[in-house]
């Protein structure tokens, strides 16, 4: 969620208790839109993170380390010049705004006491971090805003005086819905009550979990979602926000990496398909080779009528019942015998080309299908480990340039998804070709059962039976998983083939995840997870 005004007020209350009168020891800028102030307090050292990244904007204490650039940005150097040694005197939030103003007492180059302000605007896509002097003249900002003088749209740039953005009417959507759900008071009265409670420090940092994954956070338990969402209380916003944003940032990085890898594989797949299309056109031309042989034989049969220098030969086509006259193009630089030989040579080349092209087309189609399966592996990836495994697969296949990081990569190896059927049987789901090979060709026993969506790229699913006959419910659930973890997951029903592992073979030289199978059954199931 974006940090709403009420939640920001609760976080600010926590910051005041921990940081007021603290001294700025160091200033870092790990990212373009985030600043970390190392603060020395009476109780010890704290790190204040101010982030103005859209979708990630917040002010919090943090215990997480961040990698800083080798050369500090200009904004960071300016903050170091003015704020180092300064004391934090106030943290002010304008009423109902997603804005925090951090005020500092500092000393300038002449040794005079001056006031400086660092203003965080956590406003959607317009997030910003603005540094001003004691008169509120802007010294610098992480985002320059040109504005429009004619329309009165605000400008944010060095040398201008800072002014607040236009207020946004309304209440935080999550809190409004929560007050309405509880039904004890009006939204206006509920918000006013919550504001007063926050001022008194009466709030509970709460993380919302859906299916075990972070979903949202608030300053009070959220009941509107019922049992589908778990509320987890935290002792402070520092711990809560570190966990929430660490997972969110990891997800964003994984999404960006997945997007880049997906684009690369799509390019490789499209290139393979274009190559196959070109080869198919060449093959169509090669299949006309019999016409080349006929022309060579017709020239040979009419050598006595032909001379060097002729460009065309009009001869009777004795291959046809009525022997029609046909014209054959000749190279005037060649003798009739040489022209005939050229046609025979082109015929031989076309025959060889057909054999080669047929094999190349089959190989190209297999490659395109394989790359399509890699795309499905990227779609099923649940984090960096899964993506690293897909990348290593492509590197080993020669599609990507390899890296000299074998030890590091071994540490990040991912594992298949592990589940249990309603009857307690273990079910494993391969999320990429590497995991599919591991499950089907190495880990599973010949009496275990193998599942795969028919006609779709997707996971190999293993139902572990240890030699016993599986129950119908477990078979159906394994089939549903195979349908869900495939390209057919959006369909109402998917055909899933299943058989014992002993009937599944990997052809010699086949690419990762590619197998053939016999003696199978097919189930029509609805794609779903357990």
Q: Does residue 436 carry a pLDDT above 50?
A: yes
Cα angle 416, 421, 422 (rounded to 5 degrees) comes to 155
**What is the helix (H) or strand (E) element at residue 180, kind and residue range?**
helix 173-182
Overall pTM surpassing 0.85 (yes/no):
no
Residue 404 pLDDT exceeds 60: no
Burial of 509 (0-12, 13-18, 19+ CB in 10 A): exposed
Each domain of the chain, given as residue ranges in start order, spans: 5-141, 173-235, 287-360, 416-525
For a pLDDT cut of 90, what percent of the chain falls above it?
49
Model pLDDT, residue 248: 76
What are the phi and psi torsion angles at 47 (to 5°)?
Answer: -115, 120
Please choose, from the candidates 290, 293, 284, 291, the residue with its C-alpha nearest in 3D space to the C-alpha of residue 358.
284
Residue 511 and residue 269: Cα distance in Å, rounded?
A: 14
Task: Taking residues 466-491, report their average pLDDT.
Answer: 91
Q: What is the pLDDT of residues 11-50, one digit of tens each?
A: 999 999 999 999 999 999 998 899 999 999 988 899 999 9
Burial of 308 (0-12, 13-18, 19+ CB in 10 A): middle
* Tokens encoding 174: 């999550």
Pick the closest to residue 511 from 384, 368, 391 (CA basis): 368
Neighbours of 408 (CB within 10 A): 10
Q: Is the dihedral of CA 20, 21, 22, 28 positive or negative?
A: positive
The torsion of the CA quartet 167, 168, 173, 177, rounded to 10 degrees, works out to 80
Per-residue pLDDT of 101-150, as tens digits, reads 999 999 988 889 999 999 999 987 789 999 999 999 999 999 988 876 66
Give Cα 373 distance to the centre of its chain. Answer: 16
Question: Tens digits of per-residue pLDDT, 490-502?
Answer: 889 999 999 999 9
Among 432, 417, 422, which residue's Cα sits nearest to residue 475?
A: 422
Q: Residue 473, Cβ neighbours under 10 Å: how many?
A: 12
Provide the CATH number for the domain formed by 5-141 in this structure: 2.30.310.10
The CA-atom distances, in angstroms, between 78 and each of 53, 75, 129, 205, 522 are: 20, 5, 13, 34, 68
pLDDT in tens, 72-90: 999 999 999 999 999 999 9
Q: Render the burial of 136-161: b for 16+ CB within 10 Å, e for the rest.
A: eebbbbbbeeeeeeeeeeeebeeeee
Tell me how far apart the alpha carbons of residues 450 and 429 are, in angstroms, rounded to a whole number: 10
pLDDT, average across residues 438-449: 92
The residue with tokens 């009423």 is 95
pLDDT at position 412 over 60:
no
pLDDT tens string 277-305: 988 888 887 777 778 888 888 889 888 88
> Coil, strand or helix: which one is 24?
strand
Reading the block at residue 412, the tokens are 């990040």
**Could you write out the three-class secondary structure of 133-154?**
CCCCEEEEECCCECCECCCCEC
Determine what percent of the chain is predicted with pLDDT higher than 70: 94
pLDDT tier, 406 (very low <50, low <70, confident <90, very high otherwise): very low
DSSP assignments along 463-527, one per residue:
E--TTSPPPHHHHHHHHHHHHHTBTTTTSS-EEEEEEEGGGEE--TTPPTT--EE-S-EEEEE--
Position 410 scores a pLDDT of 44
Q: Are 240 and 219 in contact (CB under 8 A)?
A: no
């Amino acid at each position: 969620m974006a940090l709403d005004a009420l939640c920001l007020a609760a976080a600010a209350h926590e910051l005041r208790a921990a940081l007021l009168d603290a001294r700025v020891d160091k200033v870092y800028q790990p990212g373009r839109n985030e600043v970390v102030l190392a603060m020395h307090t009476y109780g010890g050292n704290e790190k204040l993170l101010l982030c103005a990244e859209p979708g990630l904007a917040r002010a919090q204490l943090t215990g997480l380390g961040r990698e800083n650039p080798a050369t500090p940005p200009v904004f960071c150097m300016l903050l170091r010049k003015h704020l180092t040694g300064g004391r934090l005197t106030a943290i002010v939030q304008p009423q109902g705004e997603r804005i925090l103003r951090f005020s500092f007492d500092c000393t300038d180059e002449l040794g005079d006491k001056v006031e400086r302000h660092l203003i965080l605007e956590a406003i959607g896509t317009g997030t910003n971090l603005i540094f001003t002097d004691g008169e509120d003249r802007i010294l610098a900002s992480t985002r320059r805003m040109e504005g429009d003088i004619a329309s009165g749209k605000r400008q944010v740039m060095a040398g201008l005086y800072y002014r607040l953005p236009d207020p946004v009417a309304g209440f935080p959507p999550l809190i409004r819905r929560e007050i309405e759900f509880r039904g004890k008071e009006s939204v206006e009265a509920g918000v006013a009550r919550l504001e007063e409670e926050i001022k008194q420090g009466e709030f509970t940092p709460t993380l919302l979990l859906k299916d075990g994954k972070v979903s949202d956070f608030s300053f009070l338990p959220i009941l509107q979602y019922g049992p589908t969402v778990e509320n987890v209380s935290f002792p402070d916003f520092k711990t809560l926000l570190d966990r929430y944003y660490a997972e969110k940032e990891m997800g964003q990085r994984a999404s960006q990496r997945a997007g880049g890898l997906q684009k690369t594989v799509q390019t490789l797949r499209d290139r393979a398909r274009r190559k196959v299309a070109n080869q198919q056109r060449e093959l169509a031309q090669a299949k006309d080779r019999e016409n080349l042989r006929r022309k060579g034989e017709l020239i040979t049969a009419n050598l006595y009528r032909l001379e060097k220098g002729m460009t065309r030969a009009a001869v009777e086509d004795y291959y046809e019942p009525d022997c029609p006259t046909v014209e054959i193009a000749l190279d005037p630089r060649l003798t009739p015998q040489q022209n005939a030989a050229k046609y025979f040579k082109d015929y031989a080349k076309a025959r060889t080309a057909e054999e080669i092209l047929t094999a190349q087309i089959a190989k190209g189609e297999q490659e395109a299908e394989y790359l399509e399966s890699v795309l499905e592996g990227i779609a099923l990836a649940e984090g960096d480990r899964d993506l690293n495994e897909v990348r290593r697969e492509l590197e080993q296949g020669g599609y990507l340039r390899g890296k000299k990081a074998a030890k590091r990569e071994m540490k990040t190896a991912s594992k298949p998804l592990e589940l249990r059927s309603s009857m307690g049987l273990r079910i494993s789901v391969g999320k990429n070709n590497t995991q599919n090979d591991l499950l089907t060709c190495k880990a599973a026993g010949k009496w275990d059962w193998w599942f795969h969506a028919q006609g779709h790229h997707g996971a190999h699913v293993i139902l572990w039976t240890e030699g016993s006959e599986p129950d119908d419910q477990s078979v159906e659930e394994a089939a549903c998983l195979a349908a869900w973890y495939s390209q057919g997951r959006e369909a109402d029903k998917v055909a899933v083939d299943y058989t014992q592992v002993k009937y599944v073979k990997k052809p010699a030289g086949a690419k990762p995840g590619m197998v053939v199978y016999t003696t199978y059954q097919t189930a029509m199931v609805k794609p779903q997870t357990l």
